[in-house]
Amino acid sequence: MTRALLVDLGKVLVGFDHQVTCEKMSKATGVPAGRLRGVLFGELEGDFDRGRLTPGAFFRACEARLGILPVPDETWIAAWRDIFTPLPEAIAALGRVRPGIRRVLVSNTNVLHWEGVLSVFRPDALLDDVVLSFRVGATKPEPAFWDAALAAAGCGPAACVYADDRPELVAAASALGIPGFVVDSPASLARGLARFDLLAPSSTASGNSPAATDVPRR
């Protein structure tokens, strides 16, 4: 019997575009966007997502790797953080998860991206807990991350269902005994939830999905 839903964030509940970051930083530094992407979204981002680097340390490491002079942190922050848009259809589907199912957000992310998410998506009405890589110190599919996710779910692997846009992560979860499905569009989240019998009738839907898409005040 399913007791918990583990749901990914990026490209499942919110959209994002790393090209926005690359283009803004290219304008600020003169470095081609393609070269920036290779440095910003590689090994260093992995350390940032695991909480091993502060934002400032991440920026300085990227600058050193690129061989450029320091760029003001406020320029970095705006370019890095403000790249997210809510996916209302998927958020509404999450709000329809039937009562009694524990809903846990599980995401590889860093502190600044999480700030960006919170500017477009208010999760408190729809989620019972959040497991974020920069807080855990590990990313999916590392064992420490799954341990934290299952602890937040409060049940064993077989009692969970996992939804993610990355097939390789769904496969990794399956290897641990966590059934799941791939989300390849906002509509597919609802289809996957229905397939696992996790959706309530509209009159008894959990959460408040319209409010969850409101942009919170800073």
Provide the pLDDT for residue 203.
Answer: 53
Residue 54: domain span: 18-81
Look at residue 205 in the predicted model and tell me its pLDDT. 52
Q: Is the pTM of this model over 0.95?
A: no
Q: Do the Cβ atoms of 24 and 173 come closer than 8 Å? A: no
The residue type found at 193 is L
* 218 in any annotated domain: no
Q: List Cα–Cα distances, 44 to 39, 40, 48, 160, 184, in angstroms.
A: 7, 7, 6, 31, 27
Which CATH number is 60's domain given?
1.10.150.240
In a shared domain, residues 103 and 199: yes
Same domain, 138 and 168: yes
3-state helix, strand, coil split of the chain in percent (to 5) is 50, 15, 35
pLDDT of residue 77: 98
Residues of the chain with pLDDT under 50: 204, 206-218
Residue 217 lies in a domain: no
**What confidence score (pLDDT) does residue 165 get?**
98
Pair 50, 107: CB distance under 8 Å: no
**Per-residue confidence (pLDDT) for residue 213, from 0 to 100:** 44
Question: Nearest-CA neighbor of 207 among 86, 108, 85, 90?
Answer: 90
- Retrieve residue 58's tokens: 């991440």
**Is residue 144 assigned to a domain?**
yes
Which tokens sit at 72? 């003001």
